[in-house]
Structure 1
Amino acid sequence: MNTPNFFKLNKPKTKRESLKIELPFEAEFLNAYNFYSEQNYFYFDQLKDSDFKEELWFLIKELRKTNAQKTPFVTPSNINFTFKRIQKFNPILSKIDLFKTKRIKEKNAKERYIANNLLNEVKDESEAITLANFNAITNIKKEHIKKPISFELLNEMYKDIALNKDYRLRRENEHSSIKDNLGETIYHTAPDSSFIQNELSKFIDFANKNTTFHPIIKAIIMYFWIAYTRPYTKANNELARNVFYFSVFKDNYDIFPYLPLWSLIRDNRDQYLISFVRTTQDNADLTYFIDFFLDQINMSLNTFIHDLKKENKKTETAREVQSRMGLNIRQFGLLQFFYLNPDKKTSIDAFQKQNKVSRRTASEDLNLLVKRKFLRIKRIKNRFFYYPIFENIEKTLKAL
């Protein structure tokens, strides 16, 4: 078996010390800086080729250091992880904040979560994993956020997703890494377990502390720390995701389980890996990873808003149609169900339970549909069942 290659960033060939960096910065450079470091956050290999590319890069790096915010976390070589809240982040964070005050009413929360977050696992395991993840998120929302985060709570959250398998904290000389899907390239090797144990208290303090960072940026940093240190033998990405949920739920951002965020991140795994590497190999600059993560949140929010508008439009159309037909929403819903399931039947008891109405109302609804020749009644022993007259339902719905 071939040994995987370790991915390394393309870096400038010229040493920083050999270039003359002149201040103050000229207007042309400031425009370039604004494009490369405020409207976007580019790495050296994304800069436009020119005779001054390397000099421009070092000037950009100098200016990026100003106003960079320190996190409490360090690399094994004691370099502080830092980030800049660039201009690009502000409209995305403002959009997310709009949903902080909105309560999401979702009847099919579990189904929407599962549809948005099915994992690319073997078929017979995927449903169990997805259900375990859903239950874990429910536990976070209902129970875990009532407590401050601690080592014990972290272990409890981990057990929620470990599916009773022999997953545990890594021991000394047990290594963990992030590879591509084929296992041919290593993008990150996690620090030793002894380093993680020393840093864990910082993580717990950071999680429980009110920082000056925007809550979403704080949650992304918490996600990154778990993904970077990989403290457990397996399922570190799932734990990182749930730590992210813990943090956003603490700050009342309830929308995230309804977003297709994690499926987007999976679909853009190459970008995820590159943003991770740029952070770890370019002076622990978390801005790269935060930039990627906020882009995925922004896209998932756009998808959610688009889907919500479509659903609202469908609901409005359905109401107009049922009004023209002289039916209520329960009756119209039943016709739609029978159109898709012509071999099914219903009863007064079933219809009453499904719609949470009185028996009398259920009976009146069904008998009107019989009168309009959409349903027929059939007696089986001592019970009456209602069957669709499919050709009439089909003809009516297709004519709308």
Structure 2
Amino acid sequence: MKIPLSPPSLDEMMMAVTPEMLPRFALLNLGPLAHGQYLHWDELRHCSSPEGLNHKTWWLALRMARSSSAQELPFQDKHGKPFSYSLPEPLLKSLHEIDRGAGLIPSGSDNAVLRAEQGRYLMGSLIEEAITSSQLEGASTERRVAETMLREGRKPRTHSERMIFNNFEAMRTVRTLCNDKLEPQHVIELQRVLTQDTLEYPEDCGCLRTRDDIEVVAPNDERLVLHRPPLARELPERLQRLCDFANTPVSEGSFIHPVVRAILLHFMIGYDHPFADGNGRTARTLFYWYMAKQGYWLTEYLSISRILRKAPVQYARAYLLTETDAGDTTYFLLYQTKVILDGLSALYQYLEQKQREQTRLSAQLRNLHTRDKQLNHRQTALLSHALKRPDEYFTIESHQRSHQVAYATARADLLALAAQGLLVETLHGGRKRVFYPAPDLREHLGGEAPHQP
């Protein structure tokens, strides 16, 4: 990747203005967008400029329009200049779509699948985010091994498993902070949970960085330095300012949309780089915390890291666009709202798929004659999984964690399925109860297995 070209200075732009161009500024009535997009100079210079303007004067007109609507933020870059943001039409549209899709629907009330199986889907989303967030930072454990570790609650055995386990614990921990004010010690503790037993220098775990030789390099080229964060001595004050920003009531002072606040928390952790390691994971976890705190309950079911992992260069570029254009965070806001909307779209597709799968399985289960009451949604989900992966096994503990239910409930579910011949119970190592899908499970259900997603 390349670092975006910084815009021309004000002096350069003014020198490019001729007397004949001045009337064109008023006639064109240029807003903050170019061709319907909030373009950076690095992109704008390759576009066709309006008649009568060159690229520098066009950029001057756009910069004037953006400055007139920009809102200054309580954060500063490492040179002491304030960050700012604007609300161009594409960003307003994205915020509205996020409000509709993630914040205004009462929890689970309009989605039968989520309402019935919130515990399982939340567990699944926590596992997905834990794995992909760790993979962004270099973890390489095979996905099914990691899933089994988290569902069974076993201790991690490798460095990569530890990274995934830590991410999972951090995502669970941050849910308990939803009603609390954010304090610097909370952020430091979060980094400790995320990096415990994974750092080359263990003393960097659970404390602010003390060195100034930190360099953020390109995801595909370690020789290209993208960012050098602020000095370590500034970090306590910067972290306190970030916490104050997070704790400010939405209705107090100049209104800042809650989603904008959540994204800016993410941005500032990445920019300040308050820790020697674990900054990206801490930033993403704080984003989830603030969104949940503000009532955007559906974001708990999204895996932001899964989308970021597909295009790490775009994520880094969103930071660079801001840094190279006078601290205008609008670029990062536009990128991150798109990431959220992509996550919501993937979630809705997943839920539709699960609804179809549940309908197919329900039809199969109608062919199953039992002497007991009908199977509950947890048992149905387990059988669906067993049909797709007949080589896997289940334990009371894994079933309990998957559905967030009591041990006795999980035990009753599995014993009932074993009593009906749908699962086969055995002892692992002579002590632990393990349940395998019955060899003739498909025949018991009288149909084909659900399609592999």
> 8 Å contact 1:70–1:81 — kept in the other structure?
yes
Residue 230 of structure 1: CA displacement?
A: 0.5
Match for 2:56 among 42, 54, 57?
Answer: 54
What residue in structure 2 maps to residue 132 of structure 1? 166
Match for 1:69 among 64, 68, 71?
Answer: 71
What SS is found at the alignment partner of 2:297? Answer: coil
Q: In structure 1, what residue type is equivalent to 2:168?
A: F
Match for 1:289 among 309, 332, 342?
Answer: 332
Distance 1:375 1:280 in 2: 58
- Relative to structure 1, the CA distance from residue 148 to residue 395 in structure 2 (aligned partners, 3 Å threshold; closer, same or farther) is closer
What SS is found at the alignment partner of 2:221? Answer: coil
> 8 Å contact 1:76–1:195 — kept in the other structure?
no
Alignment of 1:226-375 (within 5 A): 226-323=269-366, 328-329=374-375, 337=386, 340-341=389-390, 354=410, 356=412, 366=420
Distance 1:345 1:201 in 2: 46
Match for 1:153 among 169, 176, 186?
Answer: 186
- Relative to structure 1, the CA distance from residue 89 to residue 138 in structure 2 (aligned partners, 3 Å threshold; closer, same or farther) is same
> 8 Å contact 2:130–2:165 — kept in the other structure?
no
What residue in structure 2 maps to residue 43 of structure 1? 40
Match for 1:113 among 97, 103, 126?
Answer: 126
Structure 1 length-normalised TM: 0.80
> 8 Å contact 1:227–1:240 — kept in the other structure?
yes
What SS is found at the alignment partner of 1:284? Answer: coil
Match for 1:87 among 73, 86, 89?
Answer: 89
Distance 2:54 2:328 in 1: 23
Distance 2:188 2:442 in 1: 58
Distance 1:195 1:342 in 2: 54
Residue 247 of structure 1: CA displacement?
A: 1.6
What residue in structure 2 maps to residue 381 of structure 1? none
Q: In structure 2, what residue type is equivalent to 1:265?
A: L
Q: Among the aligned pairs, what percent are the same residue?
A: 19
> 8 Å contact 2:73–2:82 — kept in the other structure?
yes
**Greater mean alpha carbon deviation, residues 157-166 or residues 66-75:** 157-166
- Relative to structure 1, the CA distance from residue 318 to residue 152 in structure 2 (aligned partners, 3 Å threshold; closer, same or farther) is same
Residue 175 of structure 1: CA displacement?
A: 2.9
- Relative to structure 1, the CA distance from residue 127 to residue 258 in structure 2 (aligned partners, 3 Å threshold; closer, same or farther) is farther
**What root-mean-square deviation, in Å, do the aligned CA atoms of Structure 1 and Structure 2 show?**
3.8
- Cα deviations across residues 310-367 of structure 1 (Å, max 9, x unaligned)? 1011112222333356664468778753685389899xxx9x96574698x779x72x
What residue in structure 1 maps to residue 447 of structure 2? 397
Distance 1:72 1:375 in 2: 59
> 8 Å contact 1:179–1:188 — kept in the other structure?
no
**Greater mean alpha carbon deviation, residues 125-134 or residues 192-201:** 192-201
What residue in structure 2 maps to residue 380 of structure 1? none
- Relative to structure 1, the CA distance from residue 90 to residue 313 in structure 2 (aligned partners, 3 Å threshold; closer, same or farther) is farther
Which of structures 1 and 2 has the bigger CA Rg? Answer: 1
- Relative to structure 1, the CA distance from residue 345 to residue 184 in structure 2 (aligned partners, 3 Å threshold; closer, same or farther) is closer
Residue 178 of structure 1: CA displacement?
A: 4.0
What residue in structure 1 maps to residue 222 of structure 2? 183
Where relative contact order (Cα < 8 A, 6+ residues apart) is larger, the structure is 2
Distance 2:182 2:436 in 1: 54
- Relative to structure 1, the CA distance from residue 107 to residue 12 in structure 2 (aligned partners, 3 Å threshold; closer, same or farther) is same
Question: How many residue pairs end up in the alignment?
Answer: 374
- Cα deviations across residues 55-86 of structure 1 (Å, max 9, x unaligned)? 21111111011111111011232221000112
What residue in structure 2 maps to residue 102 of structure 1? 107
Distance 1:354 1:213 in 2: 44
- Relative to structure 1, the CA distance from residue 399 to residue 303 in structure 2 (aligned partners, 3 Å threshold; closer, same or farther) is closer
- Relative to structure 1, the CA distance from residue 225 to residue 376 in structure 2 (aligned partners, 3 Å threshold; closer, same or farther) is closer
Q: In structure 2, what residue type is equivalent to 1:9?
A: L
- Relative to structure 1, the CA distance from residue 35 to residue 353 in structure 2 (aligned partners, 3 Å threshold; closer, same or farther) is same
What residue in structure 2 maps to residue 166 of structure 1? 203
Structure 2 length-normalised TM: 0.71
Distance 1:107 1:397 in 2: 25
Question: Which sections of structure 1, spanning at least 5 residues, go unmatched?
Answer: 378-384
Residue 221 of structure 1: CA displacement?
A: 0.7
> 8 Å contact 1:82–1:286 — kept in the other structure?
yes
- Relative to structure 1, the CA distance from residue 135 to residue 362 in structure 2 (aligned partners, 3 Å threshold; closer, same or farther) is closer
- Cα deviations across residues 249-305 of structure 1 (Å, max 9, x unaligned)? 221223223212112112211111111111011010000011111111111110011
Distance 2:190 2:393 in 1: 42
> 8 Å contact 2:265–2:286 — kept in the other structure?
yes
